[in-house]
Amino acid sequence: MTVNLFDPELMADPFTAFNRLREQGPVVEAAFPGVPGPIWLVTRYDDVKTVLGDRRFVNNSAHVPGMDVGNIREKLIEARGIPADYAQYVLDSVLDADGDDHIRLRRLVSRAFTVRRVSELRPRVEEITERLLDGLPDEVDLIEHFAYPLPITVICELVGIPEEERPLWRDWGRALVSMTPGAMAEPLRRMVASIQDLIERRREEPGGDLLSGLIRAHDEDGDRLTDTEMVTMVLTLVLAGHETTAHLIGNGTAALLTHPDQLDLLRADPGLMPVAVHELMRWCGPVHGTRVRYAAEDVELGGQTVRRGEAVMAMLVSANYDPRRFDDPDRLDVTRESDGRREVHVGFGYGLHYCLGAALARQEGEVAIGALLRRFPRLALAVPAEKLEREFMPASWRLARLPVLLNP
Ligand code: HEM
How many CB atoms sit inside 10 A of residue 304's CB? 14
Given a cut of 70, whether residue 297 has pLDDT beyond it is yes
Ligand 1 center–CA 1 separation, angstroms: 31
What is the domain class of 3-405 according to CATH? mainly alpha
Given a cut of 70, whether residue 154 has pLDDT beyond it is yes
Ligand 1 center–CA 349 separation, angstroms: 8
Q: Is 254 in the pocket of ligand 1 (CB under 6 A)?
A: no
Q: Is 73 in the pocket of ligand 1 (CB under 6 A)?
A: no
Q: Is 106 in the pocket of ligand 1 (CB under 6 A)?
A: yes
User: How far does CA 84 lie from the centroid of its chain?
Assistant: 25
Instruction: Give the pairing type, strands 304-306 and 299-301.
Output: antiparallel
Predicted confidence at residue 147, as pLDDT, reads 98
Could you give the CA distance from residue 400 to residue 286 in angstroms, rounded to a whole number? 12
Mean pLDDT of the chain: 93
Q: Is the pTM of this model over 0.85?
A: yes
Q: Is 252 in the pocket of ligand 1 (CB under 6 A)?
A: no
Q: Is 357 in the pocket of ligand 1 (CB under 6 A)?
A: yes
Half-sphere exposure of 344 (CA within 13 A, CB side): 18
pLDDT in tens, 217-269: 888 877 788 999 999 999 999 999 999 999 999 999 999 999 999 999 999 99
Distances (CA, A) of 258 to 180, 381, 386: 31, 8, 10
Concatenated DSSP letters of 221-276: -GGG--HHHHHHHHHHHHHHHHHTHHHHHHHHHHHHHT-HHHHHHHHH-GGGHHHH
pLDDT in tens, 181-211: 778 888 899 999 999 999 999 999 999 999 9
Ligand 1 center–CA 244 separation, angstroms: 8
Instruction: Determine the atom of ligand 1 nearest the C-alpha atom of 352.
Output: 41
CB 4 within 8 A of CB 394: no
Q: Is 355 in the pocket of ligand 1 (CB under 6 A)?
A: yes
Classify residue 71 by its DSSP letter. Answer: P
Q: Of all protein residues, whose CA lies closest to atom 40 belonging to ligand 1?
A: 95
Listed residue (63, 112, 70, 52) closest to 287, CA to CA: 52
Domain ranges of the chain: 3-405
Q: Is 291 in the pocket of ligand 1 (CB under 6 A)?
A: yes
Provide φ and ψ at 250, rounded to 5°: -65, -55
Instruction: Determine the atom of ligand 1 nearest the C-alpha atom of 351.
Output: 15
pLDDT in tens, 327-354: 999 999 999 976 666 789 999 999 999 9
Instruction: Give the pairing type, strands 299-301 and 380-381.
Output: unpaired
Listed residue (30, 99, 68, 57) closest to 300, CA to CA: 57
Could you give the CA distance from residue 210 to residue 106 in angstroms, rounded to a whole number? 13
Burial class of residue 40, CB neighbours in 10 A (0-12, 13-18, 19+): buried
Three-class SS state of 373: helix
Could you give the CA distance from residue 212 to residue 157 in angstroms, rounded to a whole number? 12
Instruction: Determine the atom of ligand 1 nearest the C-alpha atom of 360.
Output: 27
| Cβ-Cβ contacts under 8 Å for 134 (sequence gap 6 or more) | none
Angle at 87 between CA 86 and CA 88, to 5 degrees: 90
Ligand 1 center–CA 241 separation, angstroms: 8
Instruction: Determine the atom of ligand 1 nearest the C-alpha atom of 349.
Output: 10
The pLDDT-based confidence of 81 (bands split at 50, 70, 90) is: confident
Could you give the CA distance from residue 314 to residue 406 in angstroms, rounded to a whole number? 38
Predicted confidence at residue 339, as pLDDT, reads 64
Q: Is 94 in the pocket of ligand 1 (CB under 6 A)?
A: yes
Could you give the CA distance from residue 205 to residue 183 in angstroms, rounded to a whole number? 34
Q: What is the dihedral of CA 122, 127, 133, 134, to 10 degrees?
A: 160
| C-alpha distance across the termini of the chain, in Å | 48
Q: Is 286 in the pocket of ligand 1 (CB under 6 A)?
A: yes
Q: Of all protein residues, whose CA lies closest to atom 27 belonging to ligand 1?
A: 241
Concatenated DSSP letters of 73-109: HHHHHHHTT--HHHHHHHHSSGGG--HHHHHHHHHHH
Q: Is 347 in the pocket of ligand 1 (CB under 6 A)?
A: yes
Provide φ and ψ at 403, rounded to 5°: -75, 125
Predicted confidence at residue 341, as pLDDT, reads 65
pLDDT in tens, 304-334: 999 999 999 999 999 999 999 999 999 999 9
Q: Of all protein residues, whose CA lies closest to atom 1 belonging to ligand 1?
A: 245
Q: Is 399 in the pocket of ligand 1 (CB under 6 A)?
A: no
